[in-house]
Chains A and B, each alone.
Chain A
Amino acid sequence: MPPTIPVGTASFDPGLPWALHPQVSLRPESFGALAYHFGTRRLSFLKSPTLLAVVSSLATQPTGRDACTAAGVAPDELPTYERALATLAESGMICERSAP
């Protein structure tokens, strides 16, 4: 019922470890993916398959930036992808996790 997930509290630091929020489901689509947060009932559209790959690998990569690199994001595209991750952090779709 009531959205209880704090939204907009996270500022995104690509140098930290991140993960998909446990209440978020991803559904791959031809354009990328749909992400739905069961806590806030928000839907987001990930508008590229690469972004989906980045988000999917967040939990297993040491940092957000590593997840981008591992998904094949070129250095000159990093800022774009980091902005996209920042947007997802703002809406609570991804969250910081404690380092392994």
Chain B
Amino acid sequence: MTLVTTERPATPRLVDQFQLGLDAPICLTWELTYACNLACVHCLSSSGRRDPGELSTAECKQLIDEFERMQIFYVNIGGGEPTIRSDFWELVDYATAHHVGVKFSTNGSRITPEVAERLASSDYVDVQISLDGATADVNDAVRGAGSYATAIRAMERMAAAGFVGFKLSVVVTRQNAAQLDAFLALADRYQAQLRLTRLRPSGRGADVWDELHPTAEQQRSLYEWLLAHGEKVLTGDSFFHLAGYGESLPGLNLCGAGRVVCLVDPVGDVYACPFAIHDEFLAGNVRSPGGFDRVWKSSDLFTELRRPDTGGACRSCGSYDACRGGCMAAKFFTGLPLDGPDPECVLGNGEALLAAAADTVPPRPSLDHSRRPSGSAVATPVGPAAPVAVALLPRRPDRACDEHPLAGLDAGHHPH
């Protein structure tokens, strides 16, 4: 993004103003369905099976009308695998016809040559293809057998259709942290742009966090790598906790939850951010009177989140102004207090707290749409979401896994 400023020294910093919230989100993630044909182990929304209460086509269109009225420039559509919805293209067309741009995340399974052609001809649609390993072995261990080949095939089709600059979206893990150069080469090969985002202990990610989150050394290397590559690599402002190392990465470097970003889930529930699917962060539902607009502007939760931050246990830390205490969802789902350090605090304060609280049980996601272990079909059986004992096995995809505070604000320069 670009800051165009005429400020005098007394003007409050933009980041402080964002902290207080805007009239409408800058960046909104909308998960269209909990159904998914994959079962990524780290899925942030514990997706798998469709929820019987998902918004109808008509309700989705009403919501798009509301986005248009609020001048939400674009939405990040995810899931689940959003393209599974039979009205997916109808909704994409409706959104773009109503001046709401669409960027959608997909595992690539439905990107046929025809779909790629269609996408390439639209100015208002952008695509993110998820891949969590630069090699099939690393990727498929997380996203499931065959998912590497599926994503590569989709990228080939996008490139063949002439779609330049689609996104290759990668969640950085301990297993792929050494493959950053390989990811970049892969993106270049298909004229895509690389987008790296942070793994969160959200959804099924909570079950694999200990095994998958990067080590402290890897975080340091990642930080150096991101600094070296600047704005060529997108991050959706995902790694702002790394600013504690000293230099800010491109982006606004703040937690935008409920302030400049939020999530609308498939049943219309509005959460503070895509990584916070838990009752604690549920602000309301778009089906309630006043709709999304009222939830955004006046829900108790969002009002609370927009109050100035005190910094809590981090207040006295010299890095607080840089990292702002890190990611709310990462703290919550690892059982850490929200007003203390991030579990991946670069100064090690989070690790120390986690070690001290080793026998406390972190909160679990409020919802789980994982398919039952036996289920393998692309099925969308309806029924109440039964809790599933999550083994550390490949499960399902991470659709909007990548959406975060300022995701999609393809970082521009900051002249000031």
Contact = CB atoms under 8 A, between A and B. Distances in A.
A38 B123 contact: yes
Interface string A26-69: 01011100111011011111111011000000000000000000
B26 A43 contact: yes
Contacts of A31: 12, 14, 17
A45 to B, nearest CB: 5
B163 A2 contact: yes
Nearest to B412: A42
Contacts of A47: 3-7, 11, 14
Contact of A41 (B4, B119, B122, B410): B410
B408 A44 contact: no
Contacts of A30: 17, 23
Interface string A66-92: 000000000001001100100110010
A3 interface: yes
B73 A1 contact: no
Given A36-B74, A47-B4, A87 B126 contact: no
Nearest to B252: A45
Contacts of A93: 2
Contacts of A4: 123
Contacts of B164: 1-2
A1 B120 contact: yes
A45 B6 contact: no
Given A1-B165, A84-B6, A41 B101 contact: yes
Which of B5, B99, B122, B415 has the most chain A CB within a 10 Å cutoff? B5
Which of A23, A46, A88 has the most chain B CB within a 10 Å cutoff? A46
A100 B310 CA distance: 54
B71 interface: yes
Interface in B293-321: none
Contacts of B126: 1, 41
B85 to A, nearest CB: 21
Determine the main DSSP class of A at the interface with B: mixed
A83 to B, nearest CB: 8
B2 A27 contact: no
Nearest to A31: B17
A80 B125 contact: no
Given A1-B166, A41-B126, A42-B1, A25 B73 contact: yes
A45 B163 contact: no
Nearest to B166: A1
B63 interface: no
Contacts of B408: 41
A81 B74 contact: no
Nearest to A24: B73
B6 A51 contact: yes
A84 B3 CA distance: 9
B408 to A, nearest CB: 7
B6 A77 contact: yes
A1 B122 contact: yes
A70 B394 CA distance: 62
A91 B101 contact: no
Nearest to A23: B123
Interface string B94-125: 00000101000000000000000001111111
Interface of B: 1-7, 11-12, 14, 17, 22-24, 26, 71, 73-74, 99, 101, 119-127, 162-166, 408-410, 412, 415
13 contacts: A1-B121, A1-B127, A1-B163, A1-B165, A2-B120, A27-B73, A29-B22, A41-B126, A44-B412, A45-B1, A48-B11, A50-B6, A87-B4
Given A1-B125, A46-B4, A91-B2, 13 more contacts: A1-B126, A1-B163, A2-B163, A29-B22, A30-B17, A30-B23, A31-B17, A38-B123, A38-B124, A42-B2, A47-B5, A47-B7, A91-B412
